[in-house]
Amino acid sequence: MILTGLLLGTVLGFVFQRGRFCVTGAFRDLFTLRSTRWLTAFMVIVAVQSIGVFVLDALGVINLTSGDFPWLGAVLGGFIFGFAIVLAGGCATGTYYRAGEGLVGSWLALIFYIVGAATFRFGPLATSTDAVRSIALPEDSIYQALGVNPWILVTLLVAGVGFVVARHLRRERKVRRASLPATKTGIAHVLFERPWHPFISAAIIGVIATAAWPLSWATGRESGLGITGPSANIGVFLATGDLALVDWGVMLVLGLLIGSFIAAAGSGEFKIRVPDARTSVRSIFGGILMGWGAAWAGGCTIGNAMVNTATFGFQGWISLLFMIIGTGVATRLFITNHRRDGAAARPVLTSAGK
């Protein structure tokens, strides 16, 4: 039943859009604002999913296995991917859900991400991916390598994330945040208007990411959420018509577009937004580099940084680290130095005498 992928993807796209959940923003805020608010939310997803996945594994619903650790791919690919998402203005998931909000720049990034991922996974440059990923250490699982029970790591992760969450919540209580006036009531207000707290959105995404495992597993795709593999499949499917490529993951990413469109349209936030020349060029190059980086790293911010981290793979944690470094470098180059004509405040002219 690959249609469960479409359904799950739709719910996920909805939550990402309403929650304004942006992993690129989470990494970027570390450098532009020195803020860990969104990165903490991101780690809530990892922690919730980590509990869920190891429960499912203990129950025998899924069976976690680990392979080798292609460290060079995780380092280089992670860096390239982290750099690319700043140019593209969103990671793989961010690009899918912004495409559903009507951002033409994200359509460009998405198309070129699919091209890049297909080129580096199945196309003429797949040999480079194989070469880089053949340089590997024998064990990817952190708990296997350490020879400890995975629940020790789960407990440490949950405790660490819980501590940081509590600190953020304490700080938050001291500030008063402005919000938009409500125009809807009841469930419509909650679903289509009210801002969602990042940690609430994160907990929901963590549950969805957990549910992805058994649903995907049931169709023969033995993994959790993933974006790059399915995106590469779409590229190759469009070129070859090979229906075998249209799997649960492809349904999942198509669902992201549908879900975010429903969320944006329902809340009056859908609008076709055409980017300027600079943003267009950045989106295109960002998209290609994202496909390249994710192929070498073996996953994007979702497959590696959010899912492989939850199962305690070295690949996930090392590529997460290098994605953040890549984001930091690109932020220095393209965000901190940002200049635009007309980017200054101009005084509002009031009538004479006032």
Per CB under 8 A, 345 contacts other proteins: yes
Per CB under 8 A, 179 contacts other proteins: yes
Stretch touching other proteins by CB under 8 A, among 59-67, 172-180, 210-218, 287-295: 172-180
Nearer to other proteins, 283 or 319 (CB): 283
Q: Which of 73, 77, 235, 275 binds other proteins (CB under 8 A)?
A: 275
Q: Which of 17, 95, 216, 228 binds other proteins (CB under 8 A)?
A: 17
Per CB under 8 A, 140 contacts other proteins: no
Nearer to other proteins, 232 or 264 (CB): 264
Number of residues binding to other proteins, judged by CB under 8 A: 45
Angstrom distance (rounded) from CA 322 to CA 316: 10
Q: Which of 344, 351, 352, 353 binds other proteins (CB under 8 A)?
A: 344
Cα–Cα distance list, 294 to 172, 212, 254, 270 (Å): 35, 20, 19, 29
C-beta separation of 248 from 216 below 8 A: yes
- Smallest distance from the beta carbon of 338 to other proteins, in angstroms? 5
Which residues have a Cβ under 8 Å from the Cβ of 71 and sit 6 or more positions away?
Answer: 135, 136, 137, 314, 315, 318
Q: How many CB atoms are closer than 10 A to CB 326?
A: 25
Find residue 141's DSSP bridge partners. Answer: 313
Per CB under 8 A, 105 contacts other proteins: yes
Angstrom distance (rounded) from CA 301 to CA 80: 12
Per CB under 8 A, 268 contacts other proteins: yes
Q: Which of 59, 243, 348, 352 binds other proteins (CB under 8 A)?
A: 348
Angstrom distance (rounded) from CA 217 to CA 201: 24
Angstrom distance (rounded) from CA 103 to CA 124: 30
Per CB under 8 A, 271 contacts other proteins: yes
Phi and psi angles of residue 219, each rounded to the nearest 5 degrees, phi first: -100, 5
Q: Which of 269, 285, 321, 325 binds other proteins (CB under 8 A)?
A: 269
C-beta separation of 208 from 9 below 8 A: no
Q: Which of 340, 341, 352, 353 binds other proteins (CB under 8 A)?
A: 340
Per CB under 8 A, 20 contacts other proteins: yes
C-beta separation of 214 from 223 below 8 A: no
Residues that bind other proteins (CB under 8 A): 17, 20, 22, 25, 28-29, 32-33, 37, 89, 98, 101-103, 105, 175-181, 195, 198, 264, 268-271, 273-276, 279, 335, 338, 340, 342-348, 350
